[in-house]
Amino acid sequence: MDKLSNNQIAWRAAQDIADGAYVNLGIGFPEKVAQYQPPGRHAIFHTENGILNFGEAPAPGEEDWDLINAGKKAVTLRPGAAFFHHADSFAMVRGGHLDVAILGAYEVAENGDLANWSTGPKGVPAVGGAMDLVHGAKRVAIITDHVTKDGQPKLLRRCTLPLTGVGCVTRVYTSLAVIDIADGRFMLREKLPSLGLEAIQRLTGAELHRDGPVADLIVPEL
């Protein structure tokens, strides 16, 4: 089956970040989004451990391990970057000062509920800052494969795992499609040209709706 790579999903999500937006990227896969900002746009990236306006990863061997993001990866600083206390960082999040948060997911429900942590044998030990981000950011987007490694849908009628947030997700970028969440429904906006509507529906655990033409999901080779 044709599907987008993680880099291609991250590229597509990056195209919707406005110039000058204040953005938090989740640990791991979502961090890739920073690599694909469109030319002429400059997002201001925030990390929960207390940096605003950090830049690209340093070259190997040039890391300053006092400069890391929330995922403990080395970063660089852009002109005008700021440091602040962890509590101030979460005050920014909870105060509604972030334009967008882009996170990964185990499950997303058609009403916008998100589950992106698990207490299972391979799960993370706690929800962390994600529960603050999903209700503090003005827009919450998810990047994820459309199905699990076992081929089961990740987009569902209702989440089965512990929730990170309730009714918080507005858009999902998957390996097959771009889907908005509106009025408690999955609204299909874009899909891979090689896949028909019925094929995508079979891989989705809730009904996909349309309110107009579905655009082709076109991304570069990455």
Q: What does the pLDDT read at residue 191?
A: 97
User: Does 190 qualify as catalytic in the annotation?
Assistant: no
Q: What does the pLDDT read at residue 120?
A: 66
Q: Name the catalytic one among 31, 48, 107, 110.
A: 48
Q: Are the C-beta atoms of 2 and 194 separated by less than 8 Å?
A: yes
Distances (CA, A) of 83 to 50, 69, 123, 132, 161: 5, 11, 30, 20, 35
Q: Which domains does the chain have, with CATH numbers?
A: 6-216 (3.40.1080.10)
Tokens representing residue 189 in the block: 């906006």
CA 11, CA 35: separation in Å to the nearest integer? 8
pLDDT tens by residue, the chain, 222 residues: 689 999 999 999 999 999 999 999 988 899 999 999 999 999 999 999 999 999 888 999 999 999 998 888 899 999 999 999 999 999 999 999 999 999 999 999 999 999 998 766 665 556 678 899 999 999 999 999 999 999 999 999 999 998 999 999 999 999 999 999 999 999 999 999 999 999 999 999 999 999 999 999 999 998
- Predicted TM-score (pTM) of the model is 0.93
CA 183, CA 142: separation in Å to the nearest integer? 18
- CA-based nearest residue to 101, from 70, 69, 134: 134
